[in-house]
Homo-oligomer: A and B are copies of this chain.
């Protein structure tokens, strides 16, 4: 269950097996998470990066889609619970993904939203756009600076891409829209606990990404941990920062349902799986994607929590099951999962990116073109591919962002009304 990259790959392999496949997901859409930050920064609309699950699998007659959330799994009796009901299964594939972790500081969640779902992306978009609106109406200079200070915690791909896009909005999209505040003064601070940005990539890529970020005007703080957070700001590396908006791109944790399995989880709450991705002791139950703590059988390195890892695990397990269903292959003879690193990349604003492909590191425009092509290629559905390309072309040409909508606010709560005495200051 789970209709992310891993889950859909499994379903695809089982399409022609004659097996009855039930695909359970708590959302009705597959989400292309790598572009979620573009929804959060008003570059794309939610529908551009999401596809209804039912329409993805409509050609597979043996696949049933169920909208719902699995509460727990009983591996011994091969049942899963869901609402008040139980479903039995012969084979189980868990692909429920990962969520954020605030490292024990759950109180920070409301203050510093993460970016894993469309609703979270829309929440961040609303907060970001409101910050500029409120700054425009703010009379007190100090409070205005705080409203225009954004802290992004975590410099993995999501954090780096968010920080770059925020800075770009502030410096390039918004200046002509606002009269009183100079939005280009907005501070974007990227805080990372490790000693480099993009710790999952090559050192060269990290260095280049940091350079790109700093050229854009993002303040990068390495070796810096967030130790406290309140309504007005946070403490990072011992320094107090007044910031109205904090975006959390730091910790991930395996989906909650993993804890109901009664099997060992790793420190991030992911299920420790066998080399064949099955759960130890349960050869017919698999975990794939971000929810699995898997290592590459060849190198012993952990498989990274990226789309490629999920797709490859899904493909691997789907093949094993299809094979055993069709040929009655002995589960003892399953192969071990190996990860093929097809490269990793991150984009920093318009036409800047870094990419590691094999031993090569690409930088600048070439990396950005590569990034664009790869992301469009992996989007599900031709409609979304076409739309995303059009949006990007448009933004590239006129430097505007079309999805600058504040929604989900039935009663706009503008705390500080316009201060007329300062209206001419712009």
Chain A residues near B (Cβ < 8 Å): 20, 22, 26-29, 45-48, 50, 52, 54-55, 58, 64-69, 82-85, 87, 118-119, 122, 129, 133, 136-137, 176-180, 381, 383-384, 386-387, 390, 394, 400, 402-412, 414-420, 423
Instruction: Closest B residue to A53 by CB, please name it.
Output: B177
Instruction: Closest B residue to A180 by CB, please name it.
Output: B64
Q: Which 5 A-B pairs have the closest CB atoms?
A: A85-B417, A54-B177, A45-B45, A47-B403, A83-B417
Out of B46, B87, B414, name the residue touching A420 (CB < 8 Å): B87
Known contacts A55-B177, A64-B180; 8 further A-B pairs (Cβ under 8 A): A22-B418, A29-B404, A47-B405, A55-B404, A67-B137, A68-B418, A85-B418, A118-B407
* A84 CA / B409 CA spacing, docked (Å): 20
Can you sample 15 A-B contacts with CB below 8 Å? A22-B418, A28-B406, A29-B405, A45-B46, A46-B403, A52-B177, A64-B180, A64-B423, A67-B137, A82-B417, A83-B417, A85-B418, A118-B405, A384-B402, A387-B387
* A55 CA / B399 CA spacing, docked (Å): 12
Q: Does A404 lie within 8 Å of B177, measured CB to CB?
A: no
Tell me how far the C-beta of A241 lies from the nearest C-beta in chain B, rounded to whole angstroms. Answer: 26
**A136 contacts which chain B residues (CB < 8 A)?**
65
* A408 CA / B423 CA spacing, docked (Å): 36
Q: Does B176 lie within 8 Å of A58, measured CB to CB?
A: yes
**A411 contacts which chain B residues (CB < 8 A)?**
69
* A179 CA / B26 CA spacing, docked (Å): 18
**A48 contacts which chain B residues (CB < 8 A)?**
45
* A390 CA / B383 CA spacing, docked (Å): 9
Q: Does A46 lie within 8 Å of B418, measured CB to CB?
A: no
**A52 contacts which chain B residues (CB < 8 A)?**
177, 404-405
**A46 contacts which chain B residues (CB < 8 A)?**
45, 403, 405, 407
Out of B383, B408, B419, name the residue touching A402 (CB < 8 Å): B383
Q: Does B407 lie within 8 Å of A68, measured CB to CB?
A: no
Out of B66, B383, B418, B423, name the residue touching A418 (CB < 8 Å): B66
**A87 contacts which chain B residues (CB < 8 A)?**
418, 420
* A414 CA / B26 CA spacing, docked (Å): 9
Out of B381, B405, B414, name the residue touching A50 (CB < 8 Å): B405
**A405 contacts which chain B residues (CB < 8 A)?**
28-29, 46-47, 50, 52, 118
**A68 contacts which chain B residues (CB < 8 A)?**
137, 412, 414, 417-418
**A29 contacts which chain B residues (CB < 8 A)?**
404-406
